[in-house]
Structure 1
Amino acid sequence: MPRHVTRMLKPALLAAVVALSVAPLAHAETAKQKSAKSRHKSAASESSLVSSFQALSDAQLEIAKRVFTGHTRCEHGQSVDVEAIKDHPGFFHVAFNGAHFTMTPEETSSGAVRLFDRNAGVIWLQIPVKSMLMNQKQGHRMIDDCKVPEQAAAVQTASTGLSAP
């Protein structure tokens, strides 16, 4: 190889070697930064969850007493689980189809039990004969015709009362 070509290739070759040796360090630094960001996000989400447990009004706490909890059977063989959150009176964890919501009671003019997750825009609406999960942001029902045994009994009582002479 001619000497002038070798002189031109040496700096390029040296730059390539340096770049290849520095790249793993840069990647490692990026991984460290990502890990730190991930820890920060996790701490932030935990912090926002804790801060979301704000004091509820007496009316909200009264509504919470009427919420049916447990495994609720719904249409199409699906189900919703509603559980009170321990150490946070009036707060409920609602799970459906892999999605999880933290909900609080809201007053209604009809007397229906309404739980709401402000962040997700999701509502759990409980009336005497059924419950339903609705996405207020998207404007549709996620699942309907959910009944705990108390609601199924109310349906039975209502249907028996209707068929009486």
Structure 2
Amino acid sequence: MFKPSKMHRTSKTASITAGLLLGMVAGSFVAPAVAASKAKAEPLPAASEEQQAAAERVLFGKYQCDGGKTLSVARDTQNPGYVKLDLAKQSWTMKPVLSSTGAIRLEDIKDTALLIQILNKSMLMNKKSGQRMVDGCMHEAQKAAVEELKKNPSTSSVFDAPAPAAQ
């Protein structure tokens, strides 16, 4: 069996100590650089009238999602017309967009996430992979809409045949 010599143990201890010191020194330079880069973030462009109008239709507050997850949607107080979205430890700054179907789209300004709000639910998508990050998210207003639809189901659908033309 190999028995390390005293010199081998000393050089191993010195190497570990030097590595730890270098790591601590590097960390003291990196942390301020990261903080400075965050502080120098580019200001967001002013929201257009269309974006402001879409922001007025966003459902702000907490959303309960499938799997026990919770989304939080709040106004961005630093950037009028923008929205802050939080899911667990992730956070995004979103730009509200009104779609042609009437759905509200909250598009991540870094183009990584997309929240879609429709009448009865919301879903958060990863734009890069096209996968849903969370689904079945419901704001109190969406829960109320679902209950109303249960009581008074719609009698028409976009899939119904068009009504006959009047003669």
Give the TM-score band, short-chain normalised. 0.7 to 0.9
TM superposition shift of 1:102: 1.3
1:121 has 2:107 as partner? no
Query: Does the 8 Å CA contact 1:101/1:120 hold for their aligned counterparts?
Result: no
Which consecutive aligned stretches of 4+ in structure 1 deviate over 3 angstroms post-superposition? Answer: 26-34
Q: How does 1:50-89 map to 2 (within 5 A)?
A: 51-89=42-80
Displacement after TM superposition at 1:158 (Å): 1.4
Could you tell me which of 14, 31, 43 is aligned with 1:38?
Answer: 31
Instruction: Give the Cα–Cα distance (whole angstroms) in 1 for the partners of residues 80 and 151 of structure 2.
Output: 36
Rate the CA distance shift 1:30–1:98 in 2: closer, same or farther, 3 A: closer
Amino acid in the other structure paired with 1:153: A
C-alpha root-mean-square deviation of aligned residues, in Å? 2.7
Q: Which amino acid aligns with 2:40?
A: S
Query: Are the counterparts in 2 of residues 60 and 106 from structure 1 also a CA contact under 8 Å?
Result: yes
What is the distance in 2 between the residues matched to 1:143 and 1:41?
30
Q: 1:116 to 1:52 in 2, by over 3 A?
A: farther
Give the 3-state SS of the residue equivalent to 2:59 in structure 1: coil
Q: Which has the larger radius of gyration?
A: 1
Unpaired segments of 5 or more residues in structure 1? 1-19
Question: Deviation string for 1:47-104 (max 9, x for gaps)?
Answer: 22xx242211110011001111111111122211111121321222111132111111
Match of 1:102 in 2: 93
- Write the distance in 2 (CA, Å) between the matches of 1:52 and 1:143: 29
How many residue pairs get aligned? The number is 143
Structure having the higher helix fraction is 1
Unmatched segments (≥5 aa) in structure 2: 1-13, 156-167
